[in-house]
Amino acid sequence: MPTIPSSAPIAPGRRVRVFIFVFLIVAMSLRGARIAVAATAPHEMVVAESEPAARAGLEILRQGGNAIDAAVATSLALGVTNASSCGLGGGGFMLIYWAKTQKLYALDYREVAPAAARPDMYMRDGKPDEQLARTGALAVAVPGEPAGLDAALRRFGTMKFSQLAAPAIKLARAGFPLNPHMARELMLVAPIIGQDAGFHAIYFNPDGTPRHAGAILHNPNLAALIESLGDAPAERFYHGAIAAKIADFVKQRGGILTAEDLASYRPLWRDPIHLPYDGYDVYTMPPPSSAGVVLEILGMLSNSNLAGLGADSPAYLARLIEVMRQGFIDRAQYADPGFVKVPLATLLSPEHIAQARDRALHHAPAPPVAAAHDHGTSNFAVADRFGNVVEVTTTVNTIFGAKLMVESMGLVLNDEMDDFGVAPGVPNAFRLVGEENNEVAPGKRPLSSMSPLIALKDGRPALAAGGSGGPTIISGVAQVTIDSFAFHLEPETAVRLPRVHQQAQPDIVFVEQELPFHTRDELTAMGYHLKIVPELGAISAIRIRPGELRGAFDPLKGGGAVGD
Ligand code: DON
């Protein structure tokens, strides 16, 4: 087996930044042991990070709705059951395979920076204050979720919003169990949100302790908000009383989001990006997502006869780590295409991918590069009996977003501003270059790692995959795709196989604790600096074959795969 030269040691000046990064990766992976759950169904399926939310989608499919209808119902229900990860105060990406046209469509309902946002808005006394972008009113970007669901429904849906909202309203009113994943997240942020009356009423016991997994929670104010959207969610959310309330709430807390920002929010239909990989056509989200990195990773490993190596062999993992490193180096070139020219054609060209593969084989050192972070986000997929497939990743960014709830509406506000480079020209724990591409600007969408993916075989959907976990979404989605296609693994094996993550900076290979000791030892002997973590993100997938849908998910977020 070839020995790969040693990784560069971590310079002392970077230790603190590396420590913070490692802390965040560990914090977002405190989920315990990993057992994938799978289900098979012949006609239709929903896989989500919450079983009640998956059931909400299935209920709609059973009523005759299509995958887009079900996706709207699932999104709304997830916003109730997994409010620390997603909801109407956040935003997301939706990738749709529409059977009628046999085409893919990408919907960008990412949050945007308010009109008063400035590149130096997080600078205080000449220094960047990253906390301002993560917690509190200045962290809040204009939510995209209500407009995105509205746009998806208008273009491809068959049912009324109010019908699709019914399961979510019922969950919020009648009660839903606090899932173990959220209970753990709650513990992490309890000191920050415990004093807030809105959070307290839902997530805390009268004595101030966070509620435990299994407790039945109610969010009647959120039920009323969803109900008040009627059949015109975009019109009602972004204009009038709701918008005024949100703007007023943010203003009172020193934020800059205004009613005009809300009124001018628009979701965008974009052309999906794609690349061939081992006989499949893999589609994913274009910028402002950095999912192109997933394609670059796949491209570098295409036609490599990996099957002979073994999906958990050190030889394969070393190659994977090196191509990941090269892919993540390119991540710094991705940004909002409305503001920055992203050289997509070059990045996804056979020449560029061949060069990157070459560098990967020679373990070229990484230049400083932007690296994302955070936790809070939810992923789900729907396949319907008409042949449509929807893959959605939706987020409020970190746990409970900006840690702000508009109490009267039970609405959690995102902290998506933190996905921008926090200050121009200033290195921080996660971001050394790339800050210009991804610096704050009014109306700009922050760069995202969310990578919903649909792969076609001979023009028909074969796999839908996506995940949550900040930058580990990119590495996780790539690994599950490779495991499915190059190693022919069942979806439940693919999502469960211990993963690795290397994002160029810091020069550490994150490795899930279930990776066998001998494999870890061999990677260490090759010179890799490993950091063992309980888990790297959560990925779910549906494998699609004629007459057979096989869905698998990581149950540790309280997920479900349900179908008929
Ligand atoms: O868009 C992004 O890349 C981040 N806001 C995603 C955050 C995330 O996945 C946290 N995960 N659990």
pLDDT (tens digit per residue) in 320-377? 999 999 999 999 899 999 999 999 999 999 999 999 999 998 765 544 433 333 367 9
Looking at residue 424, its pLDDT comes to 63
Ligand 1 touching residue 467 (CB < 6 A) = no
Ligand 1 touching residue 142 (CB < 6 A) = no
Among residues 73, 42, 76, 79, the alpha carbon closest in space to that of 59 is found at 73
Ligand 1 touching residue 419 (CB < 6 A) = yes
- Can 395 be counted among the known catalytic residues? no
Among residues 226, 227, 188, the alpha carbon closest in space to that of 84 is found at 188
Residue 273 carries which side chain, given as an amino acid letter? I
Which one is catalytic: 135, 377, 393, 395?
377
Ligand 1 touching residue 401 (CB < 6 A) = no
Looking at residue 27, its pLDDT comes to 43
pLDDT in tens, the chain (564 residues): 233 233 333 333 334 344 434 444 444 444 434 556 789 999 999 999 999 999 999 999 999 999 999 999 999 999 999 999 999 999 999 999 999 999 999 999 999 999 999 999 999 998 889 899 999 999 999 999 999 999 999 999 999 999 999 999 999 999 999 999 899 999 999 999 998 999 999 999 999 999 999 999 999 999 999 999 999 999 999 999 999 999 999 999 999 999 999 999 999 999 999 999 999 999 999 999 999 999 999 999 999 989 899 999 999 999 999 999 999 999 989 999 999 999 999 999 999 999 999 999 876 554 443 333 336 799 999 999 999 999 999 999 999 999 999 999 999 999 999 999 887 665 433 433 446 899 999 999 999 999 999 999 999 999 999 999 999 999 999 999 999 999 999 999 999 999 999 988 888 999 999 999 999 999 999 999 999 999 899 999 999 999 999 999 986 677 889 999
**375 C-alpha to center of ligand 1: Å?**
6
- The answer to whether the beta carbons of residues 186 and 84 sit under 8 Å apart is yes
Looking at residue 19, its pLDDT comes to 41
Q: Whose CA is nearest to atom 8 of ligand 1?
A: 470
**433 C-alpha to center of ligand 1: Å?**
20
The ligand 1 atom at the shortest distance from the C-alpha of residue 290 is 3
Query: How far, in whole angstroms, is CA 491 from its chain's centroid?
Result: 19
The ligand 1 atom at the shortest distance from the C-alpha of residue 418 is 5
Looking at residue 361, its pLDDT comes to 83
Nearest-angstrom CA–CA distance, 453 and 468: 13
Sheet holding 378-383, edge to edge: 268-270, 103-109, 91-98, 389-395, 378-383, 45-48, 560-563
Q: Whose CA is nearest to atom 1 of ligand 1?
A: 448
Q: Whose CA is nearest to atom 6 of ligand 1?
A: 470
Nearest-angstrom CA–CA distance, 296 and 318: 17
The ligand 1 atom at the shortest distance from the C-alpha of residue 398 is 10
**398 C-alpha to center of ligand 1: Å?**
7
Ligand 1 touching residue 374 (CB < 6 A) = yes
The ligand 1 atom at the shortest distance from the C-alpha of residue 110 is 1
Q: Cα dist. 228→27, 202, 234, 242 in Å? A: 36, 20, 11, 9
**399 C-alpha to center of ligand 1: Å?**
10
The tens digit of pLDDT for each residue in 192-213 reads: 999 899 999 999 999 999 999 9
Q: Which residues pair with 394 in a beta bridge?
A: 92, 378
**158 C-alpha to center of ligand 1: Å?**
30
Place of tokens 């969408």: 445
Element (H, E) at 531: strand 530-533
Ligand 1 touching residue 288 (CB < 6 A) = no
Looking at residue 36, its pLDDT comes to 65
Nearest-angstrom CA–CA distance, 394 and 555: 18
